[in-house]
Structure 1
Amino acid sequence: MEIKEEHIRETERLLINGNLFDTDERVPFIKNLDSCDLLAVPGSGKTTVLLAKLYCLAKHLPFKDGSGILVLSHTNTAVNEIEKSLKKVVPILFEYPNFVGTVQSFVNKFLANPACFLKYGSYIHQNDNDIYEKEAEKFYYSLPWKNTEPKGLRNKLFGKVNHGKGTISPDEKQQNVIEFLKYFELDIIERKIKYNNKPFYTFNGTAQPYYLELEQWKEDLFSKGILNYRDSFYLGDWFIENNPRITSLLKKRFKYVFIDEMQDLEKYQIDIIDKIFYTPESQSTIQRIGDINQSIYNSGKKVKVETDWQPREPVMYLRDSYRLTKENADIVNFFTLDRQQDENGNQRFVVNGKRELVNAIKPHLILFDKTTKGKLKEKFKELIKENQLDQTVEGKKYGFKIIGWSAKWEDEENHDGKFRLEDIFEEYKKDNSSIKETYTSLSEYLQYFDKNKRTLKAARKAILNALIHILRIENKKHAVTVRRKDKERYYTKKDLIKYIQEEKNGSNYEEFKSKLYKWSFDLAVKQKHEEVYHCIKDFINSDFKEWFGFEITNETQNFIGRNFEKLIQVEDKQENKQKEGINIEIGTVHSVKGQTHCATMYVETAYQRPTYETQKIIKNTSNPLLFHEHNCNGTYDKQALKMMYVGFSRPTHLLCFAVLKENVKDKIENYKNAGWEIFDLTENGNDKNNINKLH
């Protein structure tokens, strides 16, 4: 099979406004149907070329041998982008035998869900870290404190988890144990408990009774269908181990396997995909796509220094960035941690900026201090207006962002005057409105649903999730029969609706359906959050508790709240622009990964030691901000390099780096000579006259 030129021409009209894919890098990848890895620089359009390839392949569906295409990504956002771009034009790609989804959803569907049923008699009911962590806290508080021998599990964990941690308070010790219960891993095949990638208890160890107690708790959760994300992969491994034929079936079903965002996958995710498809007898084509230098996520919530993805030969490259100008790309290039040198020392991973502006914009260095940090946002707006970026197509489409590595302090102690985003921007509150299934209050459910879709479906889902959250708090379950055995399960949204339909011959259902529609409409369309809150609160305290037979406990009352709590929302960009003229969003580097901005201001913030980014990356005569090859060898230094690489590579036009003046004051002339446009906001500076113009 070959990719046809006519289909490539169709993708150019569909995906890149009739422009042409270059024949040096993009067309060769689109046409390549052999296994390979693709390393792509920021803004190179890696997802676009993947979309083009998928479109061209879909034109050959169904394949004669009955096989299909598997498309995996790390996040739902990337999956949604694929669906949005291709579902209407090649709907067959989203039909059997093809599969488009996240790695998590693939493992759940084909491995973990059948494994959970076979081994524990339950399909996956809740695959959610938030719900799992609440179960861990409940389990901890159910454990008795037993000082006599043999000591109880709670006592044992206090000693083992806190061993070697020095003098810490009882509260800190307790929190450490709860953290252990939230994050330990159960290796089902080896019957081992792991924590922080180290063995903790084993079935064959001297502490077998404690292992068995923890294993029993985990398996009780599995029998209720409650898993955290990592559990799915251990169950998947167990399923492959005990049903090896499944790998043959999957290899036969999926002739082509494409994995986007490879840099964000962790080893256990990579391993299970390889275990299925990357075998000597496999006939599947596997193509893995990403940027190893943008791997800033991992489950430990720390920036990855080395990605778990190790590219395999043959490797193809997309080096040309159509997002970045030459001026910005030249900066980004010196923050590349892994340049993929060949055997002769030649750099294979190089960021080439291809965007051309009528008037080139230099990168801007903004100097501030403790007393002038409040001027940063207004200075950013001033530069946007000065360059008329608010009038550009990119300004209207992508907007403007201020970003930083560290957002909030985890405690309220004295931080020695150091800054994080919340210290610099008073209006900033780290956005808690990421779309989740569970929240901590009724007010959050009614405000933090997927408002960008502005659909009744999204609002309805949020309301039903809040109601089943209450049933979970009240420990209300319903009877089910699984494999001829009677069991109890927590309610799902579907179960809740079914119960109301069947209760009292459905006499309550029409009334509930009418209320649910009105609440959903008022949330999604009229934005009446507080009014809906009070209606649902009254409903919970009357009909709902009566229908499901429970009293309102203190925990449920705390969840509902005494009064509506108005929360900071991410409003519609266009509405904000009308209110403020220029809307500046503030967020973390992690929150903007994968985004494009018209203008980006990266503000250095305090994280570990050395404290600020400039203190981490500047090593004597080596300074990537001055177009020097970096000399970053320490963990925190490399982390800073990667964060700046991701942050600096967002803008199409204007890149600003806001830095504490005290960290660069001895080298200001060097920055000017290197090509930075410099503005000094401090008392001794003179922002009315650009420093470059003073010399």
Structure 2
Amino acid sequence: MPQEIEITDDQVKLAEKYLLPQGKSFDDERVAFMKDLSTHDLHAVPGSGKTTALLAKLIALEQHLPFADRSGVLVISHTNAAVDEIRRNIGHVCPRLFAYPNFIGTIQGFVDAFLAVPYYKSVYHRRPVRIDDEIYDENHFPDYKLSAYLNNRGDGKKLLYKYRLGKDGKLTLQLENKPFVFPETSGTYQKILSIKQELRESGFLCFDDAYILAQEYLEKFPGIINILRKRFSYVFVDEMQDMDRHQYDLLETLFGDAAEVAYQRIGDKNQAIFNAESEMLDIWKERNVKELNGSHRLHSATACIVESLALSPIAVVGNKTNTDGSAIDIRPVMLVYENDTVSEVISCFADEIKRLVDEGKINLASDNVHKAVAWTAAKPGDSANMIKLNHYHGSFSKDHAKLKINYPCLEAYLHYHQQDASKLASIRKSALNGILRILRLEEVVNPGTGRSFTKRSLVDWIKEQHSGFYRDFKLQLYQITALNIEQKKSEALKSLIKLATEVLSKLGKTIKKSKTFIDEKHVPVVTTSEEDPEQKSNCFVKNGIQIDVATVHAVKGQTHTSTLYMESFYQINVGGKGQYESSRVADQLQGTPLAAGAHEFIRQSLKMTYVGFSRATHLLGFAIHKSHFDALYNGKPNMDRWKVIIVPKPKKPALAAAK
């Protein structure tokens, strides 16, 4: 059993002081969770404030640190952003929690720090250079013959990049333990095996490698399990539903049956959209389940719709009210479009937002986050009849939606960055990433460590080794950022190339291997139409209302004032349930429970709509084609929950008056 600790009412009040607005307090549901330090699962509905409740529990635990048995607290989340949020919210009041022997980080960070890196060091007597998928892919250097062969195969990239060096020293497909498609004696197998072995030995690992090494470590040294159980007597895993099977299994191996550890898994099975299948519903074996049913994001008219979409049944109680405590009186809207009005859907939604603003039901001063989302975006080769996100918003680009470390050319680094208040810092980071990419292509490493530079280590190295250049380096970075903000991208690119050249010269190098990367021109996926000034990259603006456009995956975890969910084509028609979410979830929206053995596409559609529908505090919209509406919704049960709007045809421009 872990050290017995009692969370007191005073400690709950202390957490309220730091986490809640003045005069607010946690309800009984959340206080019960805060005080429960036993091993259990917490299933929480969207907007329940489960992470805030976890933070409150951590503030309370901080008051008991250090523990008498010298053990610590382990907090694992799924993303760096989530970990940063924890640090930002309670780091200043929980100094002991963020120090040894405690650990707060991502599942990948935990595996790297406690399993993969220690095992790698024991085998190769040095730390790995980098654990990152993009950097790992970048360091594959097949010879000319193998490269030509793979380029002529449709699965060439998969053969080269997706196979891993398994624990038995053989090639396996990622973490699926599927053998290579060719015999081990074949030349292709041997050459790719050699590349993987060289990558492993040189210290360039992908994320899968970390789990392969972790598994080897535990098999060879099973005592590590007991060491970690003694190190961490309280383990909290947030967003459990986003874990992949191998991550789930690893955590279960370490803590699942540990009587000496209080192991709490926190999440919402119904939001497991980052798994390829709905398998988390099957592999997450529940134990001592507790629930948070009250949502502070959803109001009652939206909550009942979201509840009907839950794959794993759970009551969803809408507790969201206006700031004065009055009920939010906004009915969700169903926007019915046809082929010739699909591009008007977002505009129609903007008109509905404007109407609610004019009626005083939405306050743009305080409630001003509006999103239009869809499950799938257009891909090359798609039929024009497959309605996807780009049909609704022609200039949508996934590259704008998701920032990456690597882009195919240097110029692209000046196009993709955040478009919010942190824009200046984001452009600076992107420019630095471009310089780092050049250094890697030129095979330049930090002279002091022998490893690839990071943004921080590059800046530190320049400051320490070339102090006279350091000030000019920072000034040039600022000038590149300013030019980019002013849309002077050609000048910004020239300045970035100049700066990269100077950095290389300080390292005794010149531009050679990176020349193609530098010279290649950036080609946007979709260009913005000059005829429609409101179509601005991934946002739509009308009457002063900005609606950001994104995929459902991109908005998971977010809270919006208004959310428009736009149906999109996904896979084939199975069981007569169609190829769009509106067809696949119609029965559930009308009150019919999901049939046992429902096809995976139906289950996935329920998860996507559950996540997408549960973002909005005020207005929820659902865009469906008229053919789907007429066949599946018009006159059917529960339609009184919706306000139906027929999307109007675009207005034709007025003819110029005759002279």
User: What's the TM-score bracket when you normalise by the shorter of the two chains?
Assistant: 0.7 to 0.9
Residue from 240, 256, 259 that aligns with 1:262: 240
In 2: Cα distance, 1:16 partner to 1:83 partner: 16
In 2: Cα distance, 1:383 partner to 1:306 partner: 37
Gaps of 5+ in 2: 529-535, 574-578, 651-659
Residue from 169, 173, 186 that aligns with 2:165: 186
In 1: Cα distance, 2:350 partner to 2:384 partner: 29
Alignment match, 1:53: 57
In 1: Cα distance, 2:515 partner to 2:453 partner: 16
Alignment match, 1:20: 25
Alignment match, 2:153: 174
Over residues 209-267 of structure 1, what are the superposed CA-to-partner deviations in whole Å (9 max), with x where a residue is unaligned? Answer: 86665443223112222111111111112222333333232222211110001001012
Alignment match, 1:688: none
Alignment match, 2:533: none
Matches within 5 A, 1:200-349: 200-201=179-180, 207=185, 213-280=191-258, 282-298=259-275, 302=276, 304=278, 306-307=280-281, 309-339=283-313, 349=314
Over residues 615-642 of structure 1, what are the superposed CA-to-partner deviations in whole Å (9 max), with x where a residue is unaligned? Answer: 3334xxxx12223323471111111111
Q: 1:338 to 1:455 in 2, by over 3 A?
A: closer
- Cα pair 2:303 2:318 within 8 Å, conserved: yes
**Worse overlay, 115-124 or 587-596:** 115-124
1:85 CA drift (Å): 0.9
In 2: Cα distance, 1:144 partner to 1:83 partner: 45
SS at match of 2:153: helix
Number of aligned residues: 623
- Cα pair 2:441 2:513 within 8 Å, conserved: no
Q: 1:479 to 1:546 in 2, by over 3 A?
A: closer
Q: 1:140 to 1:447 in 2, by over 3 A?
A: same
Q: 1:185 to 1:313 in 2, by over 3 A?
A: same
1:523 aligned to 2:526? no
Q: 1:474 to 1:635 in 2, by over 3 A?
A: same
Alignment match, 1:407: 377
Matches within 5 A, 1:486-497: 489-493=451-455, 496=458
Gaps of 5+ in 1: 146-153, 159-170, 340-348, 482-487, 685-695
In 2: Cα distance, 1:565 partner to 1:368 partner: 29
Residue from 499, 503, 509 that aligns with 1:539: 499
1:374 aligned to 2:338? no
Residue from 99, 104, 124 that aligns with 2:103: 99
Matches within 5 A, 1:453-464: 454=422, 461-464=429-432
1:119 aligned to 2:123? yes
- Cα pair 1:201 1:208 within 8 Å, conserved: no
Structure 1 counterpart of 2:142, one-letter code: F
1:642 aligned to 2:635? no
1:495 CA drift (Å): 6.1
1:306 CA drift (Å): 4.3
1:140 CA drift (Å): 7.1
In 2: Cα distance, 1:278 partner to 1:196 partner: 21
Alignment match, 2:642: 676
Over residues 18-38 of structure 1, what are the superposed CA-to-partner deviations in whole Å (9 max), with x where a residue is unaligned? Answer: 323222x21111100111110
- Cα pair 2:591 2:638 within 8 Å, conserved: no
In 1: Cα distance, 2:404 partner to 2:218 partner: 30
Alignment match, 1:662: 627
In 1: Cα distance, 2:519 partner to 2:117 partner: 33
Structure 1 counterpart of 2:394, one-letter code: E
1:679 CA drift (Å): 0.9
Structure 1 counterpart of 2:267, one-letter code: G
- Cα pair 1:522 1:528 within 8 Å, conserved: no
1:139 aligned to 2:139? no
1:437 CA drift (Å): 2.9
- Cα pair 1:444 1:567 within 8 Å, conserved: no
Structure 1 counterpart of 2:199, one-letter code: L
SS at match of 1:601: strand
Residue from 64, 69, 86 that aligns with 1:65: 69
Alignment match, 1:692: none
- Cα pair 2:347 2:542 within 8 Å, conserved: no
**Worse overlay, 9-18 or 70-79:** 9-18
1:605 aligned to 2:583? no
Matches within 5 A, 1:414-425: 415-425=383-393
- Cα pair 2:462 2:469 within 8 Å, conserved: no
1:568 CA drift (Å): 9.1
Residue from 348, 354, 358 that aligns with 1:385: 354
SS at match of 2:229: helix
- Cα pair 2:483 2:492 within 8 Å, conserved: no
Alignment match, 1:589: 552
Matches within 5 A, 1:76-95: 76-95=80-99
SS at match of 1:669: coil
Q: 1:475 to 1:540 in 2, by over 3 A?
A: same
Alignment match, 2:40: 36
1:193 CA drift (Å): 2.2
Alignment match, 2:655: none
- Cα pair 1:627 1:674 within 8 Å, conserved: no
- Cα pair 1:545 1:551 within 8 Å, conserved: yes
- Cα pair 1:407 1:422 within 8 Å, conserved: yes
Alignment match, 1:362: 331
In 1: Cα distance, 2:482 partner to 2:217 partner: 42
Identical aligned residues as a percent:
32
1:556 CA drift (Å): 2.8
Over residues 504-547 of structure 1, what are the superposed CA-to-partner deviations in whole Å (9 max), with x where a residue is unaligned? Answer: xx5x5422442234414652798356344321212345x34444
Question: TM-score normalised to the size of structure 2?
Answer: 0.85
In 2: Cα distance, 1:455 partner to 1:675 partner: 40
**Worse overlay, 6-15 or 491-500:** 491-500
In 1: Cα distance, 2:348 partner to 2:522 partner: 39
